[in-house]
Amino acid sequence: MQTLIPQPATAPAKPLGKTGRVLGFGLTPLALLLIAAGLLMAIPAFFHIRRIGFMLGWDALLALLILIDALRLPRPEDFTITRSFIDSPQLGQPTRIELAVRMESDAVLDVRLVDDLHSALVAAPTEQRLEVFPREEVVSAATIYPSQRGDFALGRVFLRYRGAFRLVERWAAAEPVVKTLGGDDPHKPQRVRVFPAHEDSRERTQFYLLRARQIEMQKRKLRLRGGGREFESMRDYQQGDELRNVSWTATARRGKLVTRQFTVERSQQVWMVLDAGRLSRTAFEVKRDSTEVFAETTAEREAAHLLTVTQLDQAATAATMLAQVINGSGDKFGLMAYGRDVQQLLPPGAGASHVRLMIDLLSQTRSETSEADHLNAVARLKTAQRRRGLIVWITELVDSAGRPELVTAASELVRRHLVVLVLLKHPELDELAARTPKTTSEMFHTAAAQEMLERRRETIAQLERQGVLIVETTAAEVGMRAVSKYLEVKASGLL
């Protein structure tokens, strides 16, 4: 989505610090090596004092060259830095960033750049080396993998450039600013928003969209008049028509009974409900798609392709994926994210702008440290959605000896709506329960895991008896399973 790509930011470079214009210089390793070579010339002076002149002459020549090299260096203000995003920043997805350097000077310089990005975007800044020509824009590209959702401030771009003799380098920094109609604030850093992954597995999403359209075409062929409450047309009254369908205003105008015809609703309303309570902070490691590097070892490749995400991150990605399929199938979708209170509430809608708005809200959703209030969320949802709809609820079961609050909330919601409860499970708990204990400590751990799984199965069975549809899945497959269940419900005509 092009609209989610941040705007380019531009700024001229400035000397570092208050004394940077005078003291913002440094000697290069070559200059230090030449100075060390001059010190070696002092060795003959221990035997013949007049030979000290060789060292002094060498040092005077070197000092002159260093001074000339420093004076010929362009001012920091001659450099203009532009930071541009080629892709929209998405959690765990490759995002390309370009740094463009333009110099208003007649020299050809060796420039080193360090982009001070937020730690949520890149683990450690890397140095990029460019050869900059007079009045020509030179571009350096880098790929980052954002590790957190939300808004983050981008730091400055630091420059180090050397003169023709490679003896002196100067230090400068630029703080790119986005051009706005209200003017630029040079003291305010550029900010970028990291969204849930909404372009991951495009081929798989396209397959789901194709299947959703096939289901919609089949339902249109089977659609019969009179079966729903969506107005279609009017006709003369016939024997057997219900009196509640008579249009009395049209009857008064025509002088005879006129009946309204209805059809099955062409679009259903689907709500995606995300639990942002304490359990949503649970972290997982998932594999991401990234380019393999030549001569990369297996251990290095596996480490580079792993991304640590939270349960809420995966739920947000699943909601985005589901929203795209729902929008492509002709239905409307809404969003609710809640913890102790409702964080985000988006009424049902459709279209690309509605998808963008939902992605924007999901990027601002945060996990809370306290338990989520499921009953409060259900009360708000029942008020927002009075007509029967599909509720896709992504949450987790709290291990409790009593009746979990989630069961009470889902039982209240299923009276009016069709509820699909997507429950995230932990494979390590199944492995622990199936493990043969070898020590007393392992025996207690295995028994506790088995008890937790047994209570979970009883709770799920209780929910299913009340009419709640259950989907158990891992964090890596939550998006695929949620979309598959939505298509299954749509194909079965349960709404």
- CATH code for position 10: 2.60.40.10
Nearest CA-CA partner of 188 in 3, 11, 4: 11
Do 359 and 427 belong together in one domain?
yes
SS3 sequence, 99-134?
A: EEEEECCCCCEEEEEEECCCCCCCCCCCEEEEEECE
* DSSP per-residue string spanning 179-216: --TT---TTSPPEEEEBP--STTHHHHHHHHHHHHHHH
**DSSP-derived 3-state class of residue 48:** coil
Are residue 257 and residue 278 in the same domain, yes or no? no
Write out the chain's pLDDT in tens, 495 residues: 446 888 899 999 999 877 777 788 889 889 889 888 887 777 776 777 776 777 788 888 889 998 998 888 999 999 999 999 998 899 888 899 999 999 998 888 889 999 999 989 988 888 899 999 998 999 999 898 898 999 998 989 999 998 888 899 999 999 998 876 555 555 567 889 999 987 654 555 555 555 655 555 555 544 444 444 555 678 888 877 777 788 888 888 888 888 887 655 556 899 999 999 998 888 877 766 555 444 444 544 454 567 788 899 999 999 998 998 888 888 899 999 999 999 999 999 999 899 999 999 999 999 999 999 999 999 999 999 988 899 999 998 877 666 788 889 999 999 999 999 999 887 777 788 888 888 888 888 888 888 888 888 888 999 999 999 999 988 888 888 898 899 888 877 776
Question: Residue 383 has what pLDDT?
Answer: 92
> pTM to 2 decimals?
0.76
* Domain assignment present for 141: yes
Let me know if residue 42 belongs to a domain. Answer: no
Name residue, tokens 């992504």.
Answer: 394
Same domain, 161 and 231: no
Whether 333 and 186 share a structural domain:
no
Find the angle CA(378)-CA(382)-CA(383) to the nearest 5 degrees: 120
End position of a domain, from candidates 218, 242, 263? 263
Cβ–Cβ < 8 Å for 381, 413: yes
- Identify any residues that bridge with 200 across adjacent strands, giving them in sequence order: none
Considering the domain architecture, whether residues 239 and 279 belong to the same structural domain is answered as no
Do 422 and 313 sit in the same domain of this protein?
Answer: yes
State CA 467 to chain mean position distance: 34
Do 288 and 352 lie in one domain? The reply is yes
**Is residue 273 domain-shared with residue 416, that is, in the same domain?**
yes
Do 308 and 457 sit in the same domain of this protein? yes
Residue 303 and residue 401 share a domain: yes
Q: At what angle do helices 352-363 and 311-329 cross, to 10 degrees?
A: 170
* Together in a domain, 7 and 96: yes
DSSP class of 50: G
Residue listed under structure tokens 């199938």? 329
Question: Is residue 40 a part of any domain in this protein?
Answer: no
Residue 429 lies in a domain: yes
Cα torsion at 341, 343, 348, 354 (round to 10°)?
180
Q: What is the pLDDT of residue 363?
A: 93
Cα dihedral 228→229→234→236 (10° resolution): 70
Domain count across the chain? 3
- The strand pairing partners of 82, in sequence order, are 10, 100
> Do 121 and 259 share a domain, yes or no?
no
Q: Which residues contact 187 (CB under 8 A, 6 or more apart)?
A: none
Domain enclosing residue 233, as ranges: 226-263
Predicted local distance difference test score (pLDDT) of residue 296: 44
Mark which of 214, 238, 263 sits at the end of a domain: 263
